[in-house]
């Protein structure tokens, strides 16, 4: 079904995207100041600056992001294969991906391992430094295909980066200042027909329970104040924002954490006659930019 809803990004377009990226922006381009970027919420940014050294501690404050990252990566891989951007025996030049709000690089490195050339960008220098430090100790075969810069999505658009064959922004939109403008910048970075992946939390009582009350105030596994219910975005609201920006949502799935088993499951949005049961808390979606 997904193959019918979106077009294939083939070898020719992939090579064009790669040439455009490297000709416009050298890999050693300087980091940018992000303080005045419209999507940056300094209070939200400070939360992550203070714990940036813990990004790759799988038992630290980002424990559940590590758990979710495996499920998110499988979902992204499957959609990229459905859309023909990745193949099981990838022989073509790597498609270009940008991971917006990359933090310490959990998703960015995962994109590189999937077979993409990934650029991770983040507004916090501390996060970018943590991502670069981890990459320097990672598989040396991965390092040539993953790069990081301190910049925002709006700055990436202004510098004419891309277009990209894949755009991701995972657990980020709930921390930005202007979600509608932020989503528009993500769509601007995507090539026509390219997928945009977002994951976030629903604005619901269940999300308040499982994403705020339990992890922040009962278990203490996430710093208090990390999340605020009013910043969460329901799936239909995000679908409408994407549509207004020029992208159509083609798939929405729930992300259900099992803290006892330390696992995350990708589940269907609707369970039989029960609508939206699977997306009451965390969810991930795939949208495709209009041609």
Binding-site residue numbers are: 72, 101, 122, 170-171, 174-175
Pairing of strands 146-150, 247-258: unpaired
Binding site listing for S-adenosyl-L-methionine: 72, 101, 122, 170
Which one, of 238, 256, 255, lies nearest residue 247 by Cα?
Answer: 238
* Contact (CB, 8 A) for 258 and 264: yes
DSSP category for residue 123: S
Q: What strand order describes the sheet that includes 146-150?
A: 146-150, 117-122, 96-100, 166-170, 195-201, 282-289, 247-258, 263-268
Binding-site residue numbers for Mg(2+) are 171, 174-175
Q: Which CA distances in Å does 103 have to 56, 60, 191? A: 10, 15, 23
Q: What is the 3-state secondary structure (H, E, C) of 133-165?
A: HHHHHCCCCCHHHEEEEECCHHHHHHCCCCCEC
Question: Taking the mean position of all CA atoms in its chain, how far away is CA 23?
Answer: 25
Q: Return d(Cα 64, Cα 112) in angstroms, integer.
A: 21
Separation CA 122–CA 106 (nearest Å): 12
What CA–CA distances, in Å, run from 119 to 6, 18, 111, 216? Answer: 23, 12, 9, 31
Q: What angle do CA 271, 266, 173 make, to 5 degrees?
A: 105
CA–CA distance, 183 with 88 (Å, rounded to integer): 30
Helix (H) or strand (E) holding 106: helix 106-114
């Amino acid at each position: 079904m997904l193959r019918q809803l979106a077009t294939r990004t083939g070898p020719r377009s992939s090579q064009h995207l790669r040439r455009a990226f490297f000709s416009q922006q050298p890999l050693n381009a300087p980091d940018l100041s992000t303080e005045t970027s419209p999507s940056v919420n300094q209070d939200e940014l400070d939360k992550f600056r203070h714990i940036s050294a813990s990004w790759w501690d799988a038992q630290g404050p980002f424990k559940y992001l590590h758990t979710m990252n495996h499920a998110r990566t499988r979902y992204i891989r499957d959609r990229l294969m459905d859309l023909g951007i990745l193949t099981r025996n990838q022989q073509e030049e790597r498609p270009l991906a940008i991971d917006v709000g990359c933090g310490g690089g959990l998703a960015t490195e995962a994109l590189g391992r999937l077979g993409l050339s990934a650029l991770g960008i983040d507004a916090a220098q501390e996060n970018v430094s943590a991502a670069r430090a981890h990459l320097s100790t990672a598989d040396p075969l991965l390092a040539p295909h993953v790069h990081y810069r301190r910049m925002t999505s709006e700055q990436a658009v202004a510098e004419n980066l891309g277009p990209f064959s894949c755009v991701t922004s995972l657990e980020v939109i709930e921390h930005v200042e202007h979600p509608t403008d932020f989503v528009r910048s993500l769509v601007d970075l995507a090539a026509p027909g390219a997928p945009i992946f977002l994951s976030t939390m629903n604005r619901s009582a269940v999300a308040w329970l499982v994403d705020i009350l339990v992890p922040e105030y009962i278990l203490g596994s996430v710093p208090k104040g990390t999340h605020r219910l009013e910043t969460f975005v329901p799936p239909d609201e995000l679908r409408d924002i994407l549509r207004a920006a020029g992208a159509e949502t083609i798939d929405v799935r729930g992300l259900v954490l099992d803290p006892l088993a330390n696992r995350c499951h990708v589940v269907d949005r609707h369970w039989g006659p029960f609508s939206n049961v699977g997306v009451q808390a965390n969810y991930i979606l795939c949208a495709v930019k209009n041609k």
